[in-house]
Amino acid sequence: MTEIPTVLLVESSVQQIDHVRRQTLFEKVTILKYDCASVDEFVARLQPGGLYSNIRAIVRTGWLKAGPYASHRLFTSELIPHFPSSLKLICCSGHGYDAADIGALTNRGIWFCNTPNACTEAVANTGLVLVLETFRYLSFAQWCARYNWQKSRELGLKAVDPTGMVLGVVGLGSIGLAIAEKCQSALGMKIAYHGPKRKEEAEARLGGARYYADLTDMVSAVDCIVIAAPYTQSTHHLLSYKHFQVTKSIGLRVVNIARGKMIDEDALVLALETGKVVGVGLDVHENEPEVHEKLRKNWMVTLLPHIGVCSRTSWANFERQTWDNLESYLETGKPASPVNMMRAPYPMSQLE
């Protein structure tokens, strides 16, 4: 008789549970619920004879940055050598996958799956708000309403409407494109973008957008820039001191909803102090959860605690897509939305 595969379930305290779907799937697998007090305990349980030594899949669902396991980075290069040979599939909620060593997982023959587009709407809405904030300084206005009404009058010669301004999007993927569409239709902005290659289909959806192969060239031509690209070694400090030197004379507005380390925050603060940058909206931060002290104290800067994804719609999509990946692999040997590719996928039932 074929052994029922064992799945390790890592749950966030913030999630949207589909009880009916889980009940059906849990009849096909044995579920172990992750309850490790530390990553070291996780590694110990992976060893031969340990509780996790025969797992075939790991499913991590819900908001990864919430709950007791938010700091548990389980798919790094340091941990992958400890994975048992039985492990063939990792399903992890979220759009980005920079916290996983995809190359090392692929070399071990382990699928890694994210949940593409699951949080596109939530993050794009956050991006839209942050773009508007950089022009109208509404975070500062809220502070004034609470503490110093008259100080809000300083906005009279500073606030500007974004209509007719040029938005430069770094990374015109699903989220970047959604932000561009929202800013174009809601705010009347013109669109430019930068990335490794031109995207004619996206341009057509926008009714036209100017492509810049060189980021510095785009920075010099736009009024607001949004970082919406994946974080990799090559995009570390993608926006840095040299870029802030070529902004328009009226100054640049900067929005980041991707990863904090894509902007050199010391260079950003200097650009703010010298007028090269005149508006900032950040959902992510270079050393989060720490926030740069000079940014934190500046109420003309809009700061969010990495909550762009934060929507019950996102959690429901995470739940559906993580289980879609597991179910697809059980039935066909290939998950629904793999980040990496294997040469010879096999159903889990054939891996006994």
Please list, residue by residue across 176-212, b when 16 or more beta carbons sit within 10 angstroms of its beta carbon and e when fewer do.
bbbbbbbbbeebebbbbbbbeeebeebbeebeebebb
Q: Which of 244, 268, 318, 258 is nearest to 288 (CA)?
A: 258
Per annotation, catalytic residue among 72, 136, 253, 259: 259
Q: CA 273, CA 301: separation in Å to the nearest integer?
A: 12
Q: Is 82 a catalytic residue?
A: no
Of the listed 41, 154, 288, 320, which one is catalytic? 288
Q: How far apart, in Å, are the Cα atoms of 39 and each of 45, 98, 268, 282? A: 10, 18, 34, 30
Pairing of strands 277-282, 301-303: parallel
Residue 36 backbone phi and psi in degrees, to 5 = -70, 140
| Contact present, 260 and 284 (Cβ < 8 Å) | yes
Angle at 184 between CA 181 and CA 190, to 5 degrees: 120
Adjacency order of strands within the sheet including 30-33? 30-33, 6-11, 55-61, 89-92, 111-113
Q: Which residues of 283-298 are buried (b: 16+ CB within 10 A; e: fewer)?
A: bbbbebeebbeebeeb
At residue 90, φ and ψ (nearest 5 deg) are: -125, 125
Cα 234 from Cα 202, distance rounded (Å) = 24
Residue 306 known to be catalytic: yes
22 is catalytic: no
Q: By the 8 A CB rule, do 137 and 155 touch?
A: yes
Phi, psi of 56 (to 5 degrees): -100, -20
Peptide bond into 48 cis (omega under 30): no
Q: Which of 22, 205, 306, 320 is catalytic?
A: 306
Name the phi and psi angles at 167, rounded to 5: -100, 125
CB 174 within 8 A of CB 116: yes
Annotated catalytic sites, by residue? 259, 288, 306
